[in-house]
Amino acid sequence: MAASPFEVRTLSDRLMEVVRDMILSGAIAPDVPIRQDALAADLNVSKIPLREALVRLEQDGLVVSHPNRGFFARGMSAAEVEEIFELRLKLEPDAAAEACLVADEARQDEALQVLAQLNAAAAGGMPTVGPLNRAFHMALVQPGKRALTAEITTRLHVMADRYVRKHLEHKGRHLTAEAEHQDILQAWLARDADKVRRLVADHLQHTLSDLREEFAQGAGQG
């Protein structure tokens, strides 16, 4: 019996998450053609939902397609990291500051729980650091009820994921990030919007400065 449109859409959603994680973790190398036949066989799916997932990942900026050449995972570049963090600096500090003023107790508890999970994952060098880092930052933004801002910020976080992982590979950096996150969260829970705005901006600028140094040394290419 043919799958219903809902089932096909759900499979495409799941494949998008799987392939996205493969790109972010480096399992799918950048600038190398994605062999759809082989990947579909490895994932035990047909090419149709896989292609749908790749098209959606292209919309998210993680994949590029070239006529007669197919899909490729995007490489990392100094120019891209500058643009990603420039946009995050324009959106996130204000969004988090506004959200802290309206977040209810449930949203506050969610932010606390996600940060605890992120700290544990970072300390253990677990592959969930990227998604949890994204979840923490978005927990600070989403209560603001600015749907478009949250959607754009989420997409920027997906594109930033590989750079954040690269940033945290260096010994001790997860401890600095943990301290900065904790300071941000305490200000956010206290509804100190001005302090949240300043701390989020400082945190993003700190990460960008480290990444600039890595690219200058030739270590940021991936």
Final residue belonging to a domain, choices 44, 73, 102? 73
Residues 1-26 have a mean pLDDT of 69
Q: pLDDT for 114-150, tens place per residue? A: 999 999 988 887 878 888 999 999 999 999 989 999 9
**Same-domain status, 107 and 50:** no
**Same-domain status, 30 and 140:** no
Q: pLDDT for 203-218, tens place per residue? A: 999 999 989 988 888 7
Examine the pLDDT at 222 and tell me if it is beyond 70: no
In a domain, 222, yes or no: no
* Residue 27, SS3 per DSSP: coil
| pTM metric for this prediction | 0.79
Of 101, 164, 179, 170, residue with least CA distance to 134: 164
Distance CA 27, CA 38 (A): 14
Domain count along the chain = 2
Reported confidence tier of residue 219, pLDDT bands at 50, 70, 90: low
In a domain, 63, yes or no: yes
Q: Which pLDDT score, from 0 to 100, does residue 171 have?
A: 66
Examine the pLDDT at 220 and tell me if it is beyond 80: no
Average pLDDT in the chain? 87
**Same-domain status, 38 and 125:** no
Residues 197/191, Cβ–Cβ less than 8 Å: no
Which H or E run includes 70? Answer: strand 70-73
DSSP β-bridge partners for residue 28? none
Final residue belonging to a domain, choices 73, 105, 126? 73
Strand runs labelled E in 76-158: none
**Same-domain status, 94 and 67:** no
**Same-domain status, 193 and 99:** yes
* Residue 4, SS3 per DSSP: coil
**Same-domain status, 82 and 30:** no
Q: pLDDT for 176-210, tens place per residue? A: 889 999 999 999 999 999 999 999 999 999 999 98
Is 191 exposed, middle or buried (CB count within 10 Å of its CB: 0-12, 13-18, 19+)? middle
